[in-house]
Structure formats: C-alpha cells, structure tokens
Chains A and B, each alone.
Chain A
Amino acid sequence: MTTTSTRHGAASDAAGTGGLRLLDVSLTLGDGEAAVTALDHVALDVTPGEFVAVVGPSGSGKSSLLAVAGGLQRPTSGQVHLAGTELTALSDKERTAARRRHIGFVFQQSNLLASLTVREQLLLPLHIDGRLDAAARARAEELLEAVGLSHRRGHRPHQLSGGERQRAGLARALMTSPAVLLVDEPTSALDRVRSAEAVRLIAEQTHAHGTATVMVTHDTAIMDAADRVHEMVDGRLS
C-alpha cells in the first residue's frame, strides 16, 4: 500500500511539472500464437530537463516505448501521463493534438520533408497548429542558431549532410516548446565524432529548454551524455 501511494505521488509530481510518466505499461503486438510482448510492465519517470537514454539491442522494444510514450500507439494496458494529461485516456483526435503541442519527435534519418528548406522544416509544426506568426519565425532563427544551421537555413535536405539533417530534425522538434522530447536512434547515420556531437547537442537543448527527454539507441558509446541510462531487454526496462 505504501508503495502504491508513493507511486501516485510521483505521478502527480511528473504531471504537475510537465514531465513524462509511464505507469505499468504493456504492449502486445499481434494475436494468438504470433503475439509478441513488445513492452512488459514498463514504468518510467522523466522529469523536465532530464535526459534519459534507453539502450538495448534491436527488437528489444525500444521503438515501441517511443511509440507509446509519444502517443503514436495505445498500450495494451497501463497509463502514459504527459504534461499534466493522461495520454492514454484521450481520443485519437486529442492524441493527435497532444502530439502536435506537447511532444517533440526526433526521428531516424529520413525525418525531413524533401521540398522544404531547413527554415521551413522548422516552421511546419507551427503552421500545422495554425500558430505561424512573427514569434514563431523568431524562434526558428534562434533554434537554427542554437543547432548551428543558420548558414544552411535556405537549403533543402538533399543538400545537407547526415549530421546537419539530424540537427535540423532536433531544431524542428523543439519549435513547439514540447514538454517531452523523444529521440529515435539519432546517431544511426553518423560517424563516431558526429554522433558524440549530436548527443551532446540533445543534452544541451534538454537542459536549456527543460524538456523531459527520452533517447533510445543501440549505440552504447553515446550514453555518457545522458543523465540516466536504462537498459531494455525483451520489453523489460531495468
């Protein structure tokens, strides 16, 4: 009983301060014989400004963790709390809106739209939300500066290096001032030096903007920059 009340207390803390909290989350994919347990009773707390890395081999459930935490997929059981709301209790439409306003995604390589310039990639999330104004444009310039892409603002993705694309993706994710930043294998297309730089930038931005950041990776070399490291094996988080 004591444990339970402590857990609830932590939940309201995370909610109150706008972090991310996964409560006993399980996800089963497929049916019957073919059913796979992607997430097995996962619990995770990330407070604002905290950078958590989740490492594990491919197929361990890391991406499922991001999908559930980011509202792309409903867990089979358990709750996801995000920026004061219970994501798992929302309708599909409300979840889409929550993704738009409170969650920043940094995807793997192909995460930019081919026809947009770097600057336009950043403005897109705010156009989707109907908030493309002078403040948004100013914020885009700031973020471009922060990730070192000011000189590339007019270039399209095919003119950028892998590292530059990754940084553009990070800047875009931060445009909406999200409560939660979810980062999927940020270094899969980068060499060792660039990887270290990219992860250092994520850590820096997490602390600067106070996002609750979860990064999943199979690259154990980049964990140093994280505040906390969890390991994921067969859907279980340690």
Chain B
Amino acid sequence: MDTQNCFHCGLDIVAEAEIIFDEKTFCCAGCKTVYEIFSLNDLTSYYDFEKSPGATPQDIKGKYDFLENESIVSKLLEFQEETTAIVSLSIPHIHCSSCIWILENLQRLQEGINVSQVNFPDKKVRINYNPQIVSLSKIAYLLSSIGYEPYISLENYESGTQNVDRSLTYKLGVAFFCFGNIMLLSFPEYFEVKEFWLDNYKPFFRWLIFALSLPSFLYSASGYYVSAYKSIKSRMLNIDIPIALGIIIFFIRSTVDIVMDYGSGFFDSLTGLVFFMLLGKMFQIKTYSFLSFERDFKSYFPVAVTRINTDASEESVAVYDIKKGDRLLIRNQELIPVDGILISETAAIDYSFVTGEFIPINKNSGDKVFAGGKQIGKVIEMEVLFSVSQSYLTQLWSNDVFQKNVEQKHKSITDSISRYFTPILLLIAFAGFGYWIFKDVNTAFNVFTAVLIVACPCALALTAPFTLGNVLRIVGKQKFYLKNALVIEQLAKVDTIVFDKTGTITTNKKSNISYEGKPLSETNLIRIKSVLRGSNHPLSRMLYDFLPDMGRVNISDFEEITGKGIQSKVVESFVRIGSAAFTGKTEENTALQTSVHIQMNDEYYGKYVFKNQYREGLEELFKSLDSHYQIKVLSGDNAGEKAALEQLLPKSTELVFNQKPEQKLEFIKQLQDSGKNVMMVGDGLNDAGALAQSNVGISISENVNVFSPACDAILEATQFQKLHYFLKLSKKAMLVIKMSFGLSLLYNVVGLTFAITGNLQPLIAAIIMPLSTVTIVSFVTVMSNYYARKLEVRS
C-alpha cells in the first residue's frame, strides 16, 4: 500500500496515478494544476499555513455560463456601479487559515479584482471587482479552478442582501454604560457618611444618576414593555409582565424618592437588573452562522439552466422563467429544476437531495424525471412538463405548515411558571399595602413598591436563558446544532420519535455487499477490480473498496456507458460490469434490490448485491430508546428491507413504507392530533414537510456545510448514536431549571421579608440583586455541566 499523501489535497495517492511535479507529489492532474497556478503567481505560502489544505477542482465546464446573463448577475450583486461591483459568494470548502489567505489574495490571480474579504464563520467571501475588466462568471470559474467552487443557488437570487439585526448589542452596550457609571456615582450614598461636603453634592449626584438611568430605562428595557403589552393583549401571562412591572415601579419609586428627598432611589439596582437580563438574552442566542435552519428547495436549486431554443441555439434562462414545453440541457452534476420528460437516450439521476438515496437511478428516453435530481454523466436533454412551483417536490412547500408562524407552537417553562407567579406576587403586594394602610399611609406605599421591586423575577428570568444557553453550547461542541434554546425544552417533552429510513438510519458511506453466482477465481477478482478502478460511478467505487487488494493488471479499451455499465479488455479477457441487461442476463424481478452484474468473455458469472448499511450503533440506540419512547420508521421506499429491519429493530417499532412527502407530513400530523409530541428525524428534501410539522425536526447530515433541509436541529451523522444522550440531557436541563427556580424563589422570600416589614434600603436591594444573579448563573452552569458529563460517562 502506498501511504503517500497528495501535497495539495491530502488524499492518499494511488501509485499509478501519482504525478511528481516540482519535487512534490500529487494525486491527480487537477491538484497539480492548482499548485501550478499558485506557484506561477508566487502564492505558494498557501501551503505554509496548513498542510495540504486544498480541494481537487471539479470539472464544471459550462456550469457558470448563466453568469454572463446581465439580469441574473444584477440580482446576485450586493452593489453595482460602472466600475465597481460587490458580490458575496458562499464557498463551502473554506475551512482553514490557508483558505482565508488565498481567497484574500485573489487580486494577485485575476486582474480586475480589487479587494476580497473572507468571513470565516459564514464561509463566505466578499469580492469587490471591476465589471469592466472581469466578469462574475470569470471569477466563478477562477474560484472553481483553484478548488473553491462557489455555491450559487436560487436562494441568493431571491433574497439579495439582508440586514443584520444588531439592536440587542446596542441595548446591551447602553445598559452596561448606564449600569457602570451609576454604580460608581452611587458609592458616596452607600457609605452614607454624614459629611457636610458630600451632603452638599447629594442633589447633583442624584440627578446625574437619574439622567444616566433614562437611556437604560427607556431604550435598553424597551423590549420587555413591548413583550409584556403583547402578552397582556393575547391574554397569556408570560414572564415579561412582572419584569416590566418591576422595572416601571422601580423607576417611579426611585424618581419619587429623589424628588421628595426621601432617599437616593434604586437606580443602581434598576440598571443592573436590565443589564443582567439582557446579558442572559445574549447568552441564550448562540448562532451557528455557517449553518442554515431555514433552507428549503431554493437553497439547492440552481439559479439558471440552459434552454435550447427552437433554432437550436442555447441560452441561459432564470429558473423561474422556464415554461411548459421548453427544452432544457442538463450537464454533469447539474440539478434538474423542474419535472419533465427525458429526451436523451439514457440518464443516470442521483436523487440524494430528495430521498437520501445516493445510488443513481437509470432513466430511458420518454421516462419522467422529477425536480431535485442530479444528472451524473454526460449531458442530457429534457422537455419541461411543469414550471418550478408546480413540480412534484416543490409543491410540498405550498402546504400550510410552511406558511404559519412557528414561534407560537410552544409555551416555555418560564412562561408556565409565571402564570402562577404574577398573581401571587400581586396578592402579596396588595396584602402588604392593605396591612400597612391603617397604620401609616407612607409606609404602605413604600411596602407596596418594595414588594414589586424585590420580587421582580430577575433570577427567575435568568435561569432558563443561562441553563439552555449552556446546554446549547455543550451539545454544539458534540456536533448537535440547535436552532435556538427553545428546542431543548421541546426535546424534553418528546414522547414519540419518527425516523426516516434512507440516509437517516442507513448510511451513504458504506454498503453491505454480497456476491451471488458462479464462484470467481482470484485472477478474475483482480481483473474486475482493475476495471472498476477507472469508473467514478458510486457503485463502482464501493465495489472497488469492497474487493480485497490483491494486485493489479493493465486494462485497455476502457469504456463507461452511462446508464448501463463499464466494459474493458483485461489481458486476454473482455469484462463487462453493469446492469442485468448490459451483461446479457435476462431481467428478473430486481426492483427490490440494487445489484451489479458481472460478465466475462460473454459468459454471465453472477451479481454483487448492495444492501443498505445501517448506521453504527443503530441497534443499541433503538434498544435504549425503545423503553422510553414510541418509535416509528417512515420510508419513501418499497418494503424490500422490511424483514431486515424487523430483525434489527425492537418489536414495538412501527414500520411504514411507500410514503410520499405529503403523506409523511400527514402521518406526523395524525400522531400530534392524538396528543403525541413528535420528534422527526430525517435527512432529505422529501422529509422537509414532516420536519416542519413535527414538534422537533432533526435533520441528519453527512456534511453539515452543504446540505440539510429546514429543521429545528442539525445532527452530524457521525454523532447519530448519541441521540438518546441528547434527549436525556434535555430532560436534565429542565430539572436544573426547576431546581434553580426553587433557589430564586428562596431569594424572593428573603427579599420580601425586608420589603413587607418596610425595611428595604437601597443598599440591601443593591446587594441582594447581584448576589442572586451570580449564584443563580453559577448554579445552573455548574449543574448543567455536571449532568452533561455524568450522562456521557454512563452512555
């Protein structure tokens, strides 16, 4: 075995294909070419930052021709003027510092590029170029030629530039500014030295503090007022009502205090409270900007395709302009954007985006081809049957699930607690007021306001954001990416789990291969393996990896026939590998299985049968889930694997086959109507409806940067067996929140005893408030980390 790695891309080098150039070894001509481009332009520092950082450039002839079309380009650009244009391109391959370096030195590779800047977390490069010197399509080809193929999809075409919402950052900045300065200016009051000199300045300090608290009170806390108002209007008592009430009472009481010269007011605690709560909000938001949880078919469909006009001329047209009856040209690796009829003789179409099944399906002239498939092999022609929005797959997105606002489908734990908290709080406040009013009117008002101030559920409101924010980060490190913190609460409530089959519980990486037929001698095996080397078909690659390495013989007259198979002369024999018809085998009932047939010297030998390989740890996962959850498996395929699945999975697992995308959605809906909390685990675009309908939709992805349908969480395929651990952790997170609620209520009781007796001094408030915040935050962080570790050890 050769252990040498390619200098450019780091892949193993097959000895015969090795290319030595400039004293360096390369695995293929593509990698060598990239190195040549770099070395000609003095850009070899690329290889200094990271070892073999590159990617092999793909053959993409003609793929970006649509970028010559002015109207398409203008939709993609962020900014356009006569001599300057700015475009942001998403490049999935960006992964290391070498990538940043080379992409920020593009101006040295191509005249006309002014500046390029990489945003690493977003995996985007922003290019400022002169459209009179260089065109966008030229830039796209340049990027592809050095292995950084840009990803241009229908989504870019529609949305254009988005504005970033930075208001929380501003609010936090304002709150911190006010809080810090007020704290400093409050010090003389804390010590209450009865000194003449300081007493003289009291009014000045107090009014300055008052002025400083205004931005925090009016701007930073504004979100709470809006939310409280909305929740009153919709008659749902959420936690923001007591918070907003507390803040307003805080402010009024403090203002009255300094106007009437009763005391210094509670401005320090007020601004501190606003600051800490905003901090909690910030902490809860952990965005994975390189991931997208909102993807629909638009993220994957191309912007434009090639149309063949009646006069046989070719033209790039935007996908939305395709009409019924048009003839389209689909190249290798291009996505079919609409349903249609195949005109070319044969085609091999990979539907992995849609179904998760990655082995191409062969189609013949006159067959129907569906949108979402990817052509593998040579160029094909097709006639359009439906426009984009009316195609089989895209119709799914017209379902109501995608229209409604999903925000409201769940009530958070904090809100359910505050439903009891708010009335009790008001009851205590009025009771205190009623008790004192007969003794001393002044104290009565003091007690009333003090109760609302002290009981302001700051600690309560901080509990959930900090616990969930922390858990979000813990699972994020283990490659389970959640859309937001609410998903954890929903995970804890799940009682039914529905799995998709292909691509979700099976893996694309490996396949179970078995041989049926006449025994093959060792020499024949060597011959077959040698022929397979030349083919890039996924089945050939898998079979090649499956066959033992025993040596190699030279082959000649190699030919790959799309949709049929490969054939070649090996020494004195002629080998054909491919479909049944191709190898002279009369067709039997093979619809239920994927197989590759072998024929040598016109003699049929046998076939290799490919069975789905289930993910590692699947059996154990299902076994451990079985006692806690109802499990169902939903598949778009036929029932061919039923027996194997029944053997592998626990008996209570329900198996449903032949499900169309809409039926999957309907299936989930029915479960929910019968009172279940459903978690859907899927992977392809055909699961998109079910993922959106379910309470928690998790998408399994082999490569999180490239593909995943819209969902609540993305799980990297390698972490699949940890699913139960994540579910357990979410339950523990809820337990931590409940414990912490108990703790913060304890603080409230202590504070209330001060308040109800009329003894709440500003200093006491200023101590209790940060103290409770700090203990709550550290308690939940320590506890959630503890549970995360404990559960991991056990599982």
Does A pair with B?
A: no
| B residues at A contact (CB < 8 Å) | none
